[in-house]
Homo-oligomer: A and B are copies of this chain.
Amino acid sequence: MPKLVDHEERRAHIIDALLRSAASSGLHSVTMRSVAVEAGVSVRLVQYYFDTKEQLLLAAMARLTTRMGERVQQRVRASGAATDPRGIIEAVLLEAVPTDEESRAFHLIHTEYAVLSVTDPALGGQPFLAAPNEMEAFLAARLAAAQQAGDADPRLDPCQEAVVLLAVSAGLGLSVLLGQRTADEATGILRYHLGRLLPG
């Protein structure tokens, strides 16, 4: 072996170039060439580390979902470990509204992937369903706990409310992406709704 180069690091470098390019001009406009230029390498190298464009896109999607998971966990941890359920729930949901530029890019690309996966069978929609389903169960459990602690109306259905929570956060996030609302407005709405669910 000649140059002893870390494959994973190079792959990450190229994928980040793709994500940067997709964030500014859309996932539909990324090409092998544009990614290569953005990464500062030759097209041949992109071919070398990801044989085909499809594999490149799949790898980028995997990296994206990984990073989003990390962001959620980090935000939950930052909001104080094992504190009140309200804080944790709020942290999870607020991650869906794009505030900083990085999160905006993440959500834009993620949404483009998701919509694309509806018609493109090569992308396989599973990754977009696993995470929300996990979140749903997580939120439902937290709501049930809050009910038993007397912090929430015992008449409401934790499972359905969890779905509503995720739907409203997704809907608000999308509206921010489309420019209908500012991130602050969306945050306010989410807090309002959460306040109606978990008073105090």
Report A's interface with B, CB cutoff 8 A.
24-26, 28-29, 108, 111-112, 114-120, 125, 128-129, 132-133, 156-157, 160, 163-164, 166-172, 174-175, 177-181, 188-189, 192-193, 196
Contacts and interface: CB of A to CB of B under 8 A. Distances in A.
A170 B133 CA distance: 18
A126 B191 CA distance: 27
Count of chain copies: 2
A3 to B, nearest CB: 36
A43 to B, nearest CB: 22
Given A160-B189, A175-B132, A111 B119 contact: no
B166 A171 contact: yes
A59 to B, nearest CB: 20
A2 B120 CA distance: 44
A114 B26 CA distance: 12
Contact of A25 (B119, B167, B170): B119
B171 A119 contact: no
